[in-house]
Chains A and B, each alone.
Chain A
C-alpha cells in the first residue's frame, strides 16, 4: 500500500490558500444579493418616479427631493429623527453607565438585578410602545403619581408635540439600555483593579477616580454604545407606530415613519428618497463619530 506523503512547504501553502472561496461564497451571495444590491439600487430609486400608479420607473433628477423639501416633510423628518436619536442616546447611556457602575461586581445580588434590567431588551419595540402608551395615558399611572404632588395633573404626554417626542425617545432608551449596561459592565471589568487601588492610596476621591481613570479607560465601550444607540435610533419606527403614529401633527414623524407613509400611498420613489436620507445621516454621523471617539481611545 502506497501512502502519499502529506504535502509540505510550497505545496502545503498553496493548499492552505486554495478552497477558502467555498467557505466564503454562500454567505457572500446572501450579503451581496440582499444587502449590497438593494443598497446600491437605493441611489437610482431615490431619483426616480417609481409609484404603484405607473409601470415605468423614470429617472426624474431631484424632483423627489424638491417635492419632499417643499412640503416640509424632509426637513421636519430630519430634525425629528436627529432630536429623537440624541435624546434616546443620552438617556440610554446615562442609565446604562449608572447601572453598570452599581452592578459591576459579579455577586448573586448583582446577577439578579442585571437579569431584571435586561428584561425590556427581550420585549419587541412595538410592545414596549404599547406598555408606555398605557403608563403615560392621561388617566395613567404616571399622571396619578405626579398628581400626588401636583393635584389635578393630567398632561396628555403623547398629545403635546414636545412631550410626545421626548416620551417616544425615552421608550427607545428604556427598551435598549439593558444591552448597553452589559457592554459597560464588560468595559468596567476590563479595567485593572490595581490602577484604582493605587489612585485610592494616592488619595483620589471616588468621583476623581471615575472621571480620571475609569471613564477614559471605558472609551471602547463608550464608543460602541454611543455609536450603536445613535445609529439604531436613526432608524426609529416601531415604538412610534404603537404610540403616536407620527403625531400629534408631524411632531414625532421620523424619517422611517415618513418612509412608511409614502410607501403606504404607493409612492416608492419618494419612500426611497427618505430611506436614502436615513443612510446619509448614518454615514455623516457614524463615520466621523467613530473616528473621533477612536482617537480619544488612543490618547
Chain B
C-alpha cells in the first residue's frame, strides 16, 4: 500500500515536472542549436541542421556577450562583497547595542526590503554626483537598496547567539574589530551564505533598474545585452540566437548552482526566513 502510494506520488511529480521544467528547458537548449528557419517552428525536435557554432559565435560578436559579462561582474562582485561585509558589521551593532538611535537605523534599513526603490530620484541623485549612467552609480544604488535584506537576516541571527562568546574575547583583550573578524564572521557564515545566494539572484538578473540607470551600451550588463540583442530584429525574434544568448546569460549562475546546490537548498530551507 505504502509502496504503491509512493510510486503514484513520484509519477505525479514527474508528470508535473514535464511541462514545468523539462519542456521549457529542452525547448531553450535544442532551439539554440538550430538554424533560424528551423528554430522559427519552435518545435521540440532535434535539429536537422546543427548551427551551434554560428549561433553561439553570434552571441559573442553581435550579442556583446563579453562586454555584458564583464559589466555584470563589475556590478555583482563589489555589490555582494560590500553588502555582505558592511551589512554584517551593521547587523552586529544593531543586535548588540542598546542605543535607541540604532533601532531607528535598523528599521530604516529593513524598510528597504518592503518598499520598492525610487528609481527616478535615484537617477537625479546620481546625476548630481556625476555618476549617472555609470556602472559605479548603478552598483551603489544596488548596494543601498539590497542592504536591508542582509541586515535584517543577520541581525535576527546575531540576536539568537549568546553574547558570552564575544565577552570572553573582550576580556582576553581583543579589539572589537578583531572580535568581529575572528568570532562573529565565522558564526555568521551560514546566514551570510543564504543572504549571498538571494543577493546574487537579484543582482545578476536585474533588468528594470539597469535599463533606467545604465545608459550606454558600453556599460550594459548581461540582461541589457540580451534585451538589445533580441530587440535588434523588429519583426520576429530570431529564436535560435535569443535562446543561445539566454543560455549564455544564465550559465554563470547555473554553473555556480550546480556546484553548490546542496548548500544552497539546505541553507534556504533551514537557515532562511523565520517570522
Contacts and interface: CB of A to CB of B under 8 A. Distances in A.
B147 A31 contact: yes
A237 interface: yes
B144 A31 contact: yes
Contacts of A275: 116, 118-120
B253 A122 contact: yes
A38 B205 contact: no
B71 interface: no
B122 interface: yes
Contacts of A189: 269
The 7 closest A-B pairs by CB, nearest first: A34-B144, A124-B205, A27-B90, A41-B121, A38-B121, A42-B118, A23-B93
A125 B99 CA distance: 41
B98 to A, nearest CB: 7
Interface string B112-133: 1011111111111100000000
Given A27-B151, A139-B42, A189-B269, A130 B144 contact: no
Given A35-B144, A114-B265, A109 B10 contact: yes
Contact of B114 (A127, A134, A276, A286): A286
Interface string B21-58: 10111011001000000000111100000000000000
A137 B239 CA distance: 12
Interface residues of B, number: 92
B273 A183 contact: yes
B268 interface: yes
Given A23-B92, A131-B28, A141 B43 contact: yes
Contacts of B145: 34-35
A125 B269 contact: no
A174 B20 contact: yes
Interface stretch (A160-168, A191-199, A255-263): A255-263
Nearest to A272: B120
Contact of B249 (A32, A36, A121, A127): A127
A243 to B, nearest CB: 11
B109 A28 contact: yes
A282 B116 contact: yes
Contacts of B17: 113, 116-117
Contact of B21 (A116, A224, A283): A116
Contacts of B193: none
Nearest to A42: B118
B102 A6 contact: no
A87 interface: no
B86 A141 contact: no
Contacts of A297: 275
A26 B140 CA distance: 12
Interface in A113-152: 113-127, 130-135, 137, 139-141, 144
B97 A17 contact: yes
Given A117-B17, A118-B265, A141-B23, A33 B273 contact: no
Given A23-B90, A141-B44, A282-B114, A131 B274 contact: no
Interface of A: 6, 16-17, 19-21, 23-24, 26-28, 30-39, 41-42, 45, 50, 99, 102-103, 109, 111, 113-127, 130-135, 137, 139-141, 144, 174, 179, 182-183, 185-186, 189, 220-221, 223-224, 231, 234-235, 237-238, 241-242, 256, 259-260, 263, 268, 271-272, 275-276, 278-279, 282-283, 286, 297
A28 B208 CA distance: 25
Interface of A (DSSP majority class): helix
17 contacts: A23-B90, A23-B92, A23-B180, A24-B89, A24-B93, A24-B105, A31-B144, A34-B145, A39-B121, A109-B10, A118-B257, A118-B264, A122-B254, A126-B223, A139-B42, A242-B230, A282-B114
B87 interface: yes
B123 A34 contact: no
Given A27-B89, A27-B90, A103-B13, A111 B121 contact: no
Contacts of B98: 17
B242 interface: yes
Given A34-B125, A41-B125, A131-B24, A241 B148 contact: no
B251 to A, nearest CB: 10
Contact of A279 (B87, B116, B176): B116
Contact of A41 (B24, B124, B257): B124
A282 B118 CA distance: 13
Contacts of A45: 120-121, 124
Nearest to B267: A182
A134 B96 CA distance: 52
Contacts of A141: 23, 27, 42-44
A242 B208 CA distance: 11
Contact of B42 (A24, A39, A140, A238): A140
Contacts of A121: 201
B270 interface: yes
